[in-house]
Amino acid sequence: MTLKWFSQLDTLRKRKEQGLHPINEVSRSLIFIAGFFCSICVSLTYAFDLFSTQFREQFNLSVGDLSTISTVGLVFCYLVIPYSIIFERFGPFINFLICGATGFIGALCLGLVFQRKVNGNVAVLSVLYAFLNTASGLFDVTYLSVIFEVFPRNRGPYVCLGKVMAGLGSSIMACISAALFNGNATGFIYFIAALCMCVALAAAFTMVLPPYITNYWRDRSNHTEEEKLELAMTRHYYEHKSAPIRRTLLGYAVVVLIIVFVTIEAPVLAYTKVGRGGKIAIGVIIILLTFSIFLMALPVRCLGGVNEPAPTEDELHAVRRYYQALKRMEQSSTSEESNISLDSATKPQEVTGGELIELVEMDVLEEELKVLDDAELKPSEYFLDERPQDPRYGGDRLRDYLMRVDLWLVLAYLICVLPLAVLVSFNSSSISIAKTGEKRSQQLSTLYTAFLGVGNACGRIIVGAFEAYVQQQPRAKTNRILFTLALRAPPACW
């Protein structure tokens, strides 16, 4: 007997028996919330400046030493291609475990270095900071990859809401460091170790890919062709069902409250005398505001998405016939036996908010193929997309992309613009000392980190709103605004 701790197929069948919609909006909200906290862990790279002053004083590091440590860390932060292979074959679970392990080991050993239980030098600090940056970069790409698939209909707003915390998380870290740890760098670093491990474990068991996505690990299960078809049919519902707008707006309201609070408390802690009780109160408030994101997952009807009725039998039948036809088309194209027409497959319709949304018409061929029984269908590795995507670059080989001038121009843009932000963010302490000739205080470092996070968050919200506008443009519009228009903004700000 095979031990199963989780089965999406069983969940789908249970909801069908209860007369509920295949997509559980409360579960989708919990997946996003897990990604929300993953994004906070991404900001570990920005939090480096919080204890760079202690680094320099305790180990007599030069400006070049600090630059070396941060540079080595950034290399490992952006080196995520090997982990993408793991994600493609096994899903996000293993990557999250790697996140927790590297973040915990890096922060734990860094705390031991601060306590002088481990000898500290540039090489050791570079290795440990590389561990932290590996966790940060891997958190980022893994949770975003899941959000892309779980919210295909509202990808822009939810990716924006998650990415906001990648910058705003440094502000939260700065507030917690100043309010609860009162300059105790060792205690704060141990807190980071515990945070990475807890968030990684929670995300590993919460953030799962939608049922219709197959990979090597999922293909190991002995699903029948009927069960595979049942899982694949959920693509239709994910691609046509929007997340409840009230839950989305509630998430944005929480982020705005955090931005306002951090903007007020950062200068207060930096330039005024606040008693120990006041600092603890500030720390508790920022923690409560952060955890208030769980309000998005409340199973209450006023937020929407609770106990939504299942699709009608006619719609279920239409979706089934449609995907059976897609499957036969895929088999026919691979075997080159004949051409298939989808005329016999009724286009399924999705009930969303009382409206019937017809699937986009597909080009069909004239010749029809008789309907095959499920038992005669061969295993299929993928199902064809039923919705047209935004224009993408054509080509099947790497050479096709290397020959495009516009892609090289985008790469040149990233090389020229992105390093400016990285240099300023990770070397602010050195820049401050070079400009003023004086050592920067811990309070000023905390203030800078907090405002850096606020500015980062505001910029991401603006870009996310612009992306949402671009996505909502009518497809028939001839003069549609492209998202690449946003590339002009960063140079103008610099």
What's the pLDDT score for residue 252? 92
- Tokens 């602010």 belong to 428
For the chain, what is the domain count? 2
Last residue of a domain, one of 385, 408, 436: 436
What's the pLDDT score for residue 196? 94
Gyration radius from the chain CA atoms: 25
- Is residue 173 within 8 A of residue 181, CB to CB? The reply is no
3-state helix, strand, coil in the chain (%, to 5): 70, 0, 30
Q: Is the pLDDT confidence value at 318 over 60?
A: yes
Share of the chain above pLDDT 70, in %: 78
Residues 430 and 448 in one domain: no
What's the pLDDT score for residue 174? 82
Query: No. of H helices and E strands in the chain?
Result: 20, 2
pTM over 0.85: no
- Tokens 């088309």 belong to 329
Residues 52 and 172 in one domain: yes
- Is residue 239 within 8 A of residue 333, CB to CB? The reply is no
CA atoms lying within 13 Å on the CB side of residue 119: 2
Q: What is the pLDDT of residues 80-107, one digit of tens each?
A: 888 988 998 899 999 999 999 999 999 9
Residues 88 and 153 in one domain: yes
What's the pLDDT score for residue 204? 94
Query: 366 lies in a domain?
Result: no
Q: Which two tokens stand for residue 155?
A: 């990808």
Residues 407 and 452 in one domain: no
- Is residue 22 within 8 A of residue 15, CB to CB? The reply is yes
Residues 403 and 260 in one domain: no
Calpha distance 63→185 (Å, rounded): 20
DSSP 388: P
What's the pLDDT score for residue 122? 87
**φ, ψ for residue 184, nearest 5 deg:** -80, 95
282: domain range? 23-212+225-300+441-472
Residues 429 and 450 in one domain: no
Query: 235 lies in a domain?
Result: yes
Q: How confident is the model at residue 62 (pLDDT cuts 50, 70, 90)?
A: confident
Last residue of a domain, one of 436, 452, 482: 436
Query: 230 lies in a domain?
Result: yes
Angle at which helices 63-78 and 122-150 cross, to 10° = 30
Residues 240 and 188 in one domain: yes
Query: Across all residues in the chain, what is the average pLDDT?
Result: 78
The average pLDDT across 121-141 equals 91
Q: What's the CATH number where 466 sits?
A: 1.20.1250.20
Query: 324 lies in a domain?
Result: no
Residues 157 and 289 in one domain: yes
Residues 419 and 447 in one domain: no
Residues 49 and 99 in one domain: yes
Query: 50 lies in a domain?
Result: yes
Q: What is the pLDDT of residues 266-313, one digit of tens each?
A: 788 777 888 888 889 999 999 999 999 999 999 999 998 888 888 877
Angle at which helices 442-471 and 155-179 cross, to 10° = 170
Q: How confident is the model at residue 494 (pLDDT cuts 50, 70, 90)?
A: low
Q: How confident is the model at residue 334 (pLDDT cuts 50, 70, 90)?
A: low
The average pLDDT across 352-370 equals 39
- Is residue 343 within 8 A of residue 325, CB to CB? The reply is no
Query: 429 lies in a domain?
Result: yes
What's the pLDDT score for residue 203? 95
What's the pLDDT score for residue 216? 82
Query: 350 lies in a domain?
Result: no
- Is residue 452 within 8 A of residue 424, CB to CB? The reply is no
What's the pLDDT score for residue 468? 74
The average pLDDT across 3-23 equals 79
What's the pLDDT score for residue 354? 39
Residues 27 and 149 in one domain: yes
Higher-scoring residue by pLDDT: 153, 294: 294
Query: 359 lies in a domain?
Result: no
What's the pLDDT score for residue 152? 87
DSSP notation for 324-353: HHHHHHHHHHHHTS-----TTSPPPEEEET
Residues 148 and 189 in one domain: yes
